[in-house]
Amino acid sequence: KIRRYKWELKYEYKSPDCFKKLVITINGRTPGPTIVAEQGDTIIVELKNSLWTENTAIHWHGIRQIGTPWFDGTEGVTQCPILPGETFVYRFVVDRPGTYLYHAHYGMQREAGLYGSIRVSLPAGVSEPFAYDDDRSIILMDWYHKSAYEQAAGLVSIPFQWVGEPQSILINGKGKFNCSSLASPSLNVSTVCNVSNPECTPYALTVIPGKTYRLRISSLTALSALSFQLEGHNMTVVEADGHYVEPFVVQNLFIYSGETYSVLIKTDQDPSRNYWATTTVVSRRPVTPPGLAFLNYYPNHPRRYPPTIPPPGPVWDDVSLRVNQSLAIKARQGIITPPPPQTTDRMIVLLNTQNRFNGFVRWSVNNVSFNLPHTPYLIALKQNLLHAFDQTPPPDGYDFKNYDIFSVQSNENATTSNGIYRLDFNSTVDIILQNANTMNEKNSETHPWHLHGHDFWVLGYGPGKFDVYNDPKKFNLVDPIMKNTVPVHTYGWTALRFRADNPGVWAFHCHIESHFFMGMGVVFEEGIEKVGKLPSSIMGCVHRP
Ligand SMILES: O=C1O[C@H]([C@@H](O)CO)C(O)=C1O
């Protein structure tokens, strides 16, 4: 089946957390409309860019774009930007059931509100390996009052101006900022921030007592790692990034930017009241108040406050809680997730560091801080425009013997580059994400890494420095989950494996908006000679003779 969507992007004033600011809307909404489809459907999105002065591109997060690498929507990698006034048509197949996302992949536009969900169901007659009465979707976002431009300008300033912690957490596009904290004699607060604005009524997740629901929970935060919980209700995790997982029960779900999960909940609590759905910041010292929504037991009023105070989240800085959840996720027994190849052809160890470069604060991978080229790689490689980017690939590893990941390092050999990794077609590639100390004493951050064009097997997580000789012996080659986004925990490593079997050029990057902007990413090419004829619509920025 073909599913057609007609979308128009605009800047509009909205108050998602009661504070009025310019946001990017799709057909008047942020988050945008949910794409609902069945496995195997073709999605056509006719996208009109009515942002008066701004380019754009939309990435279909988790969709592998097999045979359509030019519609991955990654500006600078797979396409030229869509110019203001232009209409661009994305056309791709959703080949697997599950919960996916879409969002801007141009500058830092995602955090201006350009994001939404994709829900792909199984074809009629085929059933999931678990039972539920109904589905609900929850999309989590963190929210800043400054514009993406103010933030981006700060990140490339000398001295560096960090974006700081977000002002609010949004649950399905709604939060509640404490407007009274803005009060000052010179500011007419009520015109900017108004807690009784209906645009910021807390989201109500309405359920009928005595049923089982599948909640599809996803996060597209600009920065925050989150914990999601439902007061009085356990959650059974059954899906992660479009793959079935061996069910396990949690009281709170840790979720990083770019991840999606499905959990089952039973509405078996006292039906005479509502309950809190809360979302708290973890991994960074929380400054942002928790995001709050109502789990609304029908027929209670959807805006009736629960009689309790919202439950507190888990301790923000207990890394072991988060590592334990990562370790608990295994592929569901006896289900389609293919087993991983048992050996690898190439291992690339990616050391993530924060460093200074010509006075700028940047993130680097193996001492290379990534910059996007003006000519998208897919076009440059296909048309053999080899002057369009640095032909020296970044290194496959770092100085393992001498590099101390536990303390502040000067990283004085860091450079910036737009060089890429070229992978042998159909080879098996292992990626080891290696975390380290930042430029601040006793500080290592959690980074969610997202791979375009693929799912990878998650072979393991470990503390400290990855040992190339011994740690691979501990890889889980039996029932590893497949995902497209995975955290590397503080001072630790994460090991991934994938097959380079999807002809195209694919970004792999930290999903923290500001970190990718500051250089925390790499690009893989595979099978470029197998890529079909590029559509001319992606080439608007390339000079052709
Ligand atoms: O990239 C970052 O910069 C700041 C800080 O390290 C420097 O101010 C921070 O918390 C980041 O995640």
Residues 170-198: pLDDT tens digits?
Answer: 999 999 999 988 877 666 777 899 999 99
Only one residue has tokens 């569901």, namely 332
* Pocket-forming residues, ligand 1, beta carbon under 6 Å: 162, 354, 438, 440, 445, 515
DSSP letter for each residue of 440-461: STT----EEEEESS--EEEEEE
Rounded to the nearest angstrom, the distance between the alpha carbon of 162 and the centre of ligand 1 is 6
**pLDDT given for residue 539 in this prediction:** 96
Cα separation values, 117 from 75, 114, 296, 353, Å: 20, 11, 22, 31
Q: Biggest alpha carbon distance in the chain?
A: 71
From CA 142, how far away is CA 438, in angstroms rounded?
23
Query: What are the φ/ψ torsions at residue 325 (nearest 5 degrees)?
Result: -65, -45
Among candidate residues 232, 228, 292, 222, the one with its CA nearest the CA of residue 261: 228
Among candidate residues 213, 245, 206, 239, the one with its CA nearest the CA of residue 135: 213
Rounded to the nearest angstrom, the distance between the alpha carbon of 460 and the centre of ligand 1 is 27
Which residue puts its alpha carbon closest to atom 5 of ligand 1?
A: 162
Rounded to the nearest angstrom, the distance between the alpha carbon of 408 and the centre of ligand 1 is 13
From CA 35, how far away is CA 117, in angstroms rounded?
6
Delimiting residues of CATH 2.60.40.420 domain(s) in the chain: 2-328, 346-539
Which is it for the CA torsion 249, 307, 288, 203, positive or negative?
positive
Only one residue has tokens 């509502």, namely 274
- Contact criterion met (CB below 8 Å) for 294 and 306: yes
Strand pairing partners for 457?
Answer: 482, 497
Residue-wise pLDDT for 273-326, tens only, equals 999 999 999 999 999 999 999 999 999 999 999 999 999 999 999 999 999 999
Q: Which atom of ligand 1 is nearest to the CA of 223?
A: 12
Which residue puts its alpha carbon closest to atom 1 of ligand 1?
A: 515
Pairing of strands 428-434, 346-357: parallel
Top CATH class of 2-328 equals mainly beta
From CA 380, how far away is CA 442, in angstroms rounded?
42
Pairing of strands 275-282, 447-451: unpaired
Among candidate residues 148, 143, 144, the one with its CA nearest the CA of residue 170: 143
Rounded to the nearest angstrom, the distance between the alpha carbon of 107 and the centre of ligand 1 is 18
Q: For residue 76, give both structure tokens.
A: 């600078």
Q: Which of 438, 511, 516 to mutate to test ligand 1, by most ligand atoms within 8 A of the CB atom?
A: 438
Find all residues with CB under 8 Å of 485, minimum gap 6, and list them. 241, 256, 257, 258, 259, 448, 449, 450, 451, 511
Only one residue has tokens 């105070």, namely 309
Q: For residue 545, give both structure tokens.
A: 């003779």
Sheet with strand 2-14: strands edge to edge: 21-26, 2-14, 42-49, 87-93
**pLDDT given for residue 316 in this prediction:** 98
Top CATH class of 346-539 equals mainly beta
Which residue puts its alpha carbon closest to atom 9 of ligand 1?
A: 162
Q: Which atom of ligand 1 is nearest to the CA of 440?
A: 6
Rounded to the nearest angstrom, the distance between the alpha carbon of 463 and the centre of ligand 1 is 22
Q: Which atom of ligand 1 is nearest to the CA of 515?
A: 1
- Contact criterion met (CB below 8 Å) for 80 and 540: yes
DSSP one-letter code for 56: B
Angle at 509 between CA 508 and CA 510, to 5 degrees: 150
From CA 482, how far away is CA 471, in angstroms rounded?
20
Q: Which residues of the chain have pLDDT under 70?
A: 185-187, 336, 544-545
Which is it for the CA torsion 165, 166, 170, 175, positive or negative?
positive
Q: Which of 156, 162, 516 to mutate to test ligand 1, by most ligand atoms within 8 A of the CB atom?
A: 162
Residue type at 12?
A: E
Cα separation values, 143 from 45, 135, 165, 222, 290, Å: 26, 26, 9, 8, 12
Find all residues with CB under 8 Å of 518, minimum gap 6, and list them. 155, 361, 362, 363, 369
Q: How many CB atoms lie within 10 A of CB 472?
A: 18
Among candidate residues 388, 404, 390, the one with its CA nearest the CA of residue 522: 390
Q: Which atom of ligand 1 is nearest to the CA of 160?
A: 8
